A and B are shown apart, each in its own frame.
Chain A
Amino acid sequence: MESLVSGSECATGASPLASLLKHQQQDRSLHHDAHQVGPRAGPSGLRTFNQNNANGSQEADHFFNAQQQHDPGFHMDSLRRELEASVAGRGPIIGDREWASQYNPASSSLSPQEAAHLEEQFRKQQQFTGPRPDFAAEYWRQQHTPSPSGFSTSTPPPGTLASTSSSSTSFAPQRYGMGMGMMGGGMMGAGMMFHQQAQQPPAAQVEGKGKGRFIELDDKDWEEQFAKAAASSAPVEEEKAQVEQPKTVPATMNLLDDDTVLDVSESDAELLRNLEDTWKNLQTNLTESSVSDAEMAAWEAQYGSQIDGDSGLGMGFDEAGEPGVTWTKENVDSFLSTESPFPFSSENAYESMTDPFAEGQRLLAEGAPLSEAALAFEAACRQDPGRGEAWRAAGETWAADEREVKGIRALEKAVACGGKDGVAAWMSLAVAYVNEGQELRALATLEKWLSLAYPSLNVPAPDTSHPVSPWDTSNRVIDMFLAAARAGPQARAPGQSDELTDIVDPDVQVGLGVLFYSNSDYERARDCFEAALSVRPTDFLLWNRLGATLANGGLPEEAISAYRRALDLRPTFTRATYNLGVSCLNIGCYQEAAEHLLAAIEGQKNRNEVGGTGGPGEGDEGSQNLWHTLRRSFLCMDRHDLAELAHPTTDVSVFRSHGFEF
């Protein structure tokens, strides 16, 4: 188990900073290599850029001309040739390169006064719309002083830009439009020209603006050339400011030179954090060939959804298709206000007992069917609706019995009771939502949990000024959990857990695991669950979670081992048996799969049903799922006759006569 802790990415290991550093390190390496900053400016930006593609080289020329007036010593020719070749050959990629290439201020061409002037303009611009103006203003300011004429000569692009801009809601100022235009053609020049220097705010803005659309530069030569070519430039003093930044920022800023410092205002820091988020994601996902594609994807996502009107970015749609529900940590407990009555079972033998809760626990321990234990817990809930632990036990038991929906209802009741069980129930709810495919809801639920478990944690508010993709939200919540992991168990609200070690809070690890799992990031999820297991090795729910992670991550054999561990600890664990069946199915062991599934179906029967005195009910969604998967196994075996029989109304013992042992 030790190796799990030390090796895991999510666990804080020897020091709370370890995990942070680990992530940062990854960031850093890519930063150094790629020097990449591809700000994801507004959708319209790229669109307009693309439309201006043809004008690209024209703008480049203008820019170069403009620049050359100021820096005759700069040998543009080779660069220009390369540029033009790129422009001709690669269309949009140029634009991306611009975005991509590090935005470096022209220290050589800007005197301190000019820089200050630009900064002022920039600040003014900042009042306009969201990210994009900043970027534009950035660029704008770079361009502005040296040669206004340079701009005026490139009127066609701005002209077109303006018109196209007007079609976009956020492109109000003409100046902005022009800025964007120049950004198109000139950015590449800018990127190339400007040596990495002090003008942090622009660079920072730029990166932040784009929401960190990093794109790897294909030609590392560019960097070297520029670095060499750029004149030694005195840092623009007023731009430089020694500012203490949150831990995450320095890593991002590494993509500039090591000696650069940041002058980043609050909103910039925010952007940088967003940047960091996306960066973290991208760093693992970057591929060299899709520079422009990455941008396009982002654009299309945002732009497309804006255009279509129905922004399904969780803004307009609940995953279940109910319009108008955006799950946030504030409204995720909305079920509390609706107070729907719990669908208690009509007959419950445990109600007459004095302590059905204890009975439930006993039943679990002795290996009775889960539905029995759940019934006992339900009786306890009925006796005392304010008993959070009873609701939670009921909810978790139903979920384990593959009756997710009922489990959710009970967990909602648990949450209402508050206390430490109420808090824990949020986590179980999140898992249930993930299983049900309600990912946004799960995210909001996890956020809620974190706010209760780590109330002292300072979390940045979500950036709601522009539409976010579901992955942005996910990354934001992941960051919050990472922050909690770094803060360590000492930051946990007291009285909630007696399982904390000095370093690892297993619940935080579970939360992270669930987050990564829902992003299909199964390797990281695995690390987190393993870390949690190191603290709670007898937690069969965790073993199952690990198993599911391994299974969905494409490691069915290892998954099977994990499921077996879960079943060793709790042989009646229906869900683990089901999962075992699924994994067998996926590796082609159809007979075994069917047997596990049959065992699971049988396990779901409660005492009345066992012994054949009545078939299982027409099946709630839980058993439906089991039957469907069973049917699939039969189809895989080419046994259509058996597939025909695979219905919730069939008595499962029938299959014994067909040669299945369970």
Chain B
Amino acid sequence: MTLSDSDISSSKLFDLINEGLSAMEEGEKKEQMKKVNGIFEMRVKSAKGKEGVWTIDLKKDGSVYKGNAKPKADVTISLSDDTFQQLADGKLNGQKAFMSGKLKVKGNIMLATKLDTVLKGAQAKL
């Protein structure tokens, strides 16, 4: 069952994230959750004005679902469809997006800085 919303094209990213999480072994998932340790409530708005809400839980169960965070989000990020896609493609990073106002953050802003890592695939190590 897909999490995406056909009117909000970047929402298929949620499916991808979810798949990535489910493909992880328990240990790996736990490690990722330990590093990020947050529940992201994502409010994505399409160009036409439709807004959808999804939650990426990287604290309790390590899952992605549609709808508001249960019980409570650590951070709520509001962004446009395009911005979300650009973030995932690596064309934009969290800081740039935030500074230019493309990303609105409510709550634990520290977590917003982790959004990049959540969205990216494998990361190189310094």
Give A residues with C-beta under 8 Å from B.
Answer: 281-282, 284-287, 290-298, 300-301, 304-305, 308, 310, 312-314, 317, 319-321, 402, 404, 431, 434-437, 439-440, 469-471, 514, 517, 519-521, 544-545, 547-549, 551-552, 554, 559, 575, 578-579, 582-583, 585-586, 621, 624-625, 628-629, 631-632, 635, 647
A434 to B35, CA, bound (A): 11
Evaluate contact between A629 and B122: CB separation under 8 angstroms: yes
Could you tell me the distance in whole angstroms from the C-beta of A359 to the nearest C-beta in chain B? 27
Evaluate contact between B122 and A285: CB separation under 8 angstroms: no
Task: Take A520-B116, A579-B124 as given contacts and tell me if A471 and B108 are in contact as well, using a CB distance cutoff of 8 Å.
Answer: no
B7-25 vs A, CB cutoff 8 Å, 1 = contact: the mask equals 0000000000000000111
> Which residue of chain B lies nearest to A646 when distances are taken between CB atoms in the complex?
B25
Evaluate contact between B113 and A548: CB separation under 8 angstroms: no
Evaluate contact between A287 and B100: CB separation under 8 angstroms: yes
Evaluate contact between B124 and A301: CB separation under 8 angstroms: no
Q: Which of B75, B99, B123, B125 contacts A294 (CB 8 A)?
A: B99
Evaluate contact between A308 and B110: CB separation under 8 angstroms: no
What residues on B are CB-neighbors of A290 within 8 Å? 100-102
Give B residues with C-beta under 8 Å from A.
Answer: 23-25, 27-28, 31, 34-37, 59, 74-76, 90, 93-96, 98-111, 113-114, 116-117, 120-126
What residues on A are CB-neighbors of B120 within 8 Å? 552
What residues on A are CB-neighbors of B95 within 8 Å? 281, 285, 471, 519-521
Q: Which of A559, A624, A629 contacts B27 (CB 8 A)?
A: A624
A606 to B16, CA, bound (A): 37
A545 to B126, CA, bound (A): 5
What residues on B are CB-neighbors of A628 within 8 Å? 24-25, 27-28
Could you tell me the distance in whole angstroms from the C-beta of A593 to the nearest C-beta in chain B? 9
Evaluate contact between B125 and A575: CB separation under 8 angstroms: yes
Could you tell me the distance in whole angstroms from the C-beta of B60 to the nearest C-beta in chain A? 12
Evaluate contact between B106 and A308: CB separation under 8 angstroms: yes
Task: Take A313-B109, A582-B123 as given contacts and tell me if A295 and B25 are in contact as well, using a CB distance cutoff of 8 Å.
Answer: no
What residues on B are CB-neighbors of A521 within 8 Å? 93, 95
Q: Which of A312, A575, A629 contacts B75 (CB 8 A)?
A: A312
Task: Take A312-B110, A554-B90 as given contacts and tell me if A292 and B101 are in contact as well, using a CB distance cutoff of 8 Å.
Answer: yes
What residues on A are CB-neighbors of B34 within 8 Å? 320
Evaluate contact between B35 and A437: CB separation under 8 angstroms: yes
A36 to B28, CA, bound (A): 47
Evaluate contact between B107 and A304: CB separation under 8 angstroms: yes
A435 to B126, CA, bound (A): 6
Q: Which of A284, A439, A551, A624 contacts B124 (CB 8 A)?
A: A551
Task: Take A520-B95, A586-B122 as given contacts and tell me if A313 and B110 are in contact as well, using a CB distance cutoff of 8 Å.
Answer: yes
What is the count of residue pairs linking A and B with beta-carbon distances less than 8 angstroms? 151
What residues on A are CB-neighbors of B27 within 8 Å? 624, 628
What residues on B are CB-neighbors of A552 within 8 Å? 120, 123-124
Evaluate contact between B110 and A320: CB separation under 8 angstroms: no
A549 to B99, CA, bound (A): 21
A334 to B109, CA, bound (A): 25
A–B pairs, 26, beta carbons within 8 Å: A287-B102, A292-B101, A293-B100, A293-B104, A295-B101, A297-B103, A308-B107, A310-B107, A312-B107, A312-B108, A312-B111, A319-B37, A402-B125, A435-B125, A435-B126, A437-B36, A470-B109, A471-B95, A520-B95, A582-B123, A582-B124, A586-B121, A586-B122, A628-B24, A628-B28, A635-B23
Evaluate contact between A304 and B106: CB separation under 8 angstroms: yes
What residues on B are CB-neighbors of A431 within 8 Å? 126
Q: Which of A285, A520, A579, A586 contacts B125 (CB 8 A)?
A: A579
Evaluate contact between B23 and A301: CB separation under 8 angstroms: no
Evaluate contact between B107 and A285: CB separation under 8 angstroms: no
A469 to B93, CA, bound (A): 16
Could you tell me the distance in whole angstroms from the C-beta of A12 to the nearest C-beta in chain B? 23
What residues on B are CB-neighbors of A297 within 8 Å? 98-105
What residues on A are CB-neighbors of B102 within 8 Å? 287, 290, 293, 297
A578 to B120, CA, bound (A): 17
Evaluate contact between B125 and A296: CB separation under 8 angstroms: no
A608 to B102, CA, bound (A): 54
Could you tell me the distance in whole angstroms from the C-beta of A8 to the nearest C-beta in chain B? 18
A552 to B93, CA, bound (A): 11
Could you tell me the distance in whole angstroms from the C-beta of A424 to the nearest C-beta in chain B? 16
Could you tell me the distance in whole angstroms from the C-beta of A449 to the nearest C-beta in chain B? 15
What residues on B are CB-neighbors of A471 within 8 Å? 95, 98-99, 113
Evaluate contact between A294 and B107: CB separation under 8 angstroms: no
Task: Take A290-B100, A296-B104, A312-B74 as given contacts and tell me if A470 and B124 are in contact as well, using a CB distance cutoff of 8 Å.
Answer: no
A625 to B59, CA, bound (A): 19
Evaluate contact between B125 and A578: CB separation under 8 angstroms: yes
Could you tell me the distance in whole angstroms from the C-beta of B57 to the nearest C-beta in chain A? 14
Q: Which of A300, A304, A585 contacts B122 (CB 8 A)?
A: A585
Could you tell me the distance in whole angstroms from the C-beta of B1 to the nearest C-beta in chain A? 21
> Which residue of chain A lies nearest to B76 when distances are taken between CB atoms in the complex?
A304
Task: Take A292-B101, A304-B107 as given contacts and tell me if A285 and B126 are in contact as well, using a CB distance cutoff of 8 Å.
Answer: no
What residues on A are CB-neighbors of B37 within 8 Å? 319-321
A404 to B3, CA, bound (A): 36
> Which residue of chain A lies nearest to B19 when distances are taken between CB atoms in the complex?
A635
Evaluate contact between B114 and A437: CB separation under 8 angstroms: yes
Evaluate contact between B96 and A624: CB separation under 8 angstroms: no
Could you tell me the distance in whole angstroms from the C-beta of A575 to the nearest C-beta in chain B? 6
Could you tell me the distance in whole angstroms from the C-beta of B121 to the nearest C-beta in chain A? 6
Task: Take A281-B99, A285-B99, A290-B101 as given contacts and tell me if A548 and B124 are in contact as well, using a CB distance cutoff of 8 Å.
Answer: yes
Evaluate contact between B124 and A559: CB separation under 8 angstroms: yes
Evaluate contact between B101 and A296: CB separation under 8 angstroms: yes
> Which residue of chain B lies nearest to A287 when distances are taken between CB atoms in the complex?
B100
A313 to B107, CA, bound (A): 9
A290 to B104, CA, bound (A): 12
Q: Which of A517, A554, A635 contacts B126 (CB 8 A)?
A: A517
Evaluate contact between A514 and B126: CB separation under 8 angstroms: yes
What residues on B are CB-neighbors of A545 within 8 Å? 126
Could you tell me the distance in whole angstroms from the C-beta of B90 to the nearest C-beta in chain A? 5
Q: Which of B31, B104, B121, B125 contacts A300 (CB 8 A)?
A: B104
Evaluate contact between B125 and A314: CB separation under 8 angstroms: no
Could you tell me the distance in whole angstroms from the C-beta of A407 to the nearest C-beta in chain B? 11
Could you tell me the distance in whole angstroms from the C-beta of A437 to the nearest C-beta in chain B? 4
What residues on B are CB-neighbors of A631 within 8 Å? 25
